[in-house]
Amino acid sequence: MRIEEVILKTPAEIEKLRRSNQIVAEVLEVLKARVSPGTSTMELERICEGETRKRGARPAFKGYNGYPYCLCVSVNHEVVHGMPSESKVLREGDIVSIDFGVCCDGYYGDAAVTVPVGETTPEAQRLIDVTLRCLELAIEEARVGNRLYDISHAIQSCAEGAGFSVVRAFVGHGIGRELHEAPQVPNFGSPGKGIVLKEGMVLAIEPMVNAGDSAVKILEDGWTAVTMDGSLSAHFEHSVAITKDGAIVLSKT
C-alpha cells in the first residue's frame, strides 16, 4: 500500500508556489470584473485562457483527469466543476463560483471565489459572506502545532452556525508540484483531531457551503456537481502556506 505522505516545502518552494498563486489571484480579479448580466461562462473561459498564457503559466485544470477547460464556473445550485458553456449566460441575481488553477515553473496555484451577478438576494449574499468567513476562520487555524481538523471544524461550525451545510463529497488538499497532494482537507471534522500541522505544509482550503442540504449529485456531463435539493451553493478557496511565522495566504492579491 502506498502511504500518502504530506510533502513539506522549503521557503524557496513556497516562493514558487506564491508566484503561481499570484497569477491565479490576478486572473481571478480580471474575471470577477467581467462577471455581469449577459456574459456567458465560455466568455470567462476565453478571457481566462488569454490572461493565463500572457503571464507565462499553464492552466492546471485543462487536461486534468480529462477535464476540458481552464476554469470551473459553477452557477447558483452548481457546487463545483461547472463547465464553461456558450449557452450558460449569467443573469442579474445569479451567484457564480469561479475556480481556477495554474502551473508555473513546476508548481501549482489554486483558488476560487464566489460573486453575485449584479445584485443578488439578501439570503444569497449571506451565503457568500458566510462561506468567505468560513475560509477566513479556517486560515486562522492553519498554524504550526494545530491539528488538521481544527481547520475543518472551523469551516463546519461557521457554516452550520449560520444555518447552512457543508459539502462532504469534495475536500481541500495539499498542493505543490502536484495540483492535488496529501492531505485531504475536509470541510467538516472534530477539533483536536487529524495530523499535526507542520512548518512547510501548503494547503488548498476550500469551503463549499450549501444553503440547504449537504447532499450533491454529479450531472450527466460527468463533472458538474449540483445540490441535490436545488439550493444555492458557494465556494471559496485559498492556497495557504504554514510557516513558523503563521499562515501565508499565497493566492491573495
Q: With binding defined as CB under 5 A, does residue 141 bind Co ion?
A: no
Q: Which one, 30 or 144, has the nearer CB to ligand MF3? A: 30
Applying CB under 5 A, does 94 fall inside the site for Co ion?
no
Work out whether 67 is an interface residue with ligand MF3 (CB under 6 A).
yes
Q: Where does 64-147 have alpha helices with state H?
A: 122-141
The CB-of-110 to ligand MF3 minimum distance in angstroms stands at 5
CB atoms near residue 125 (< 10 Å) = 14
- Residue 72 interacts with which of Co ion, ligand MF3, none, CB < 5 to 8 Å by class: ligand MF3
How many residues contact ligand MF3, by CB under 6 A? 13
Ranges within 23-62 binding ligand MF3 (CB under 6 A):
61
Quick one: what does residue 61 bind among ligand MF3, Co ion, none, with the CB cut-off 5 to 8 Å set by partner type?
Answer: ligand MF3
CA distance 166 to 197: 22
User: Which residue minimizes CB distance to ligand MF3?
Assistant: 61
**Amino acid (1-letter code) at residue 219:** L
Identify how many contiguous H helices and E strands the chain contains and give both numbers.
4, 15
Cα 131 to Cα 149: distance, rounded to the nearest angstrom: 17
Q: What is the DSSP string of 60-73?
A: SSTTGGG---SEEE
**Which listed option, Co ion, ligand MF3, none, makes contact with residue 175 (CB within 5 to 8 Å by class)?**
none
Q: State the minimum distance, in angstroms, from the CB of residue 93 to ligand MF3.
A: 25
Q: How far is the CB of 179 from ligand MF3 (least distance, A)?
A: 6
Q: Which of 51, 94, 110, 141 binds Co ion (CB under 5 A)?
A: 110
- Going 193 to 81 to 34 to 55, the CA torsion angle's sign is positive
E strands, the chain, where?
58-59, 71-75, 78-80, 95-104, 107-116, 165-166, 172-174, 181-185, 202-205, 208-210, 216-218, 225-227, 233-235, 238-243, 246-249
Residue 141 is a binding residue for ligand MF3 (CB under 6 A): no
Q: Can you give the binding site for ligand MF3, defined by CB under 6 A?
A: 61, 64-65, 67, 72, 81, 99, 101, 110, 112, 173, 204, 237
Q: Can you give the binding site for Co ion, defined by CB under 5 A?
A: 110, 204
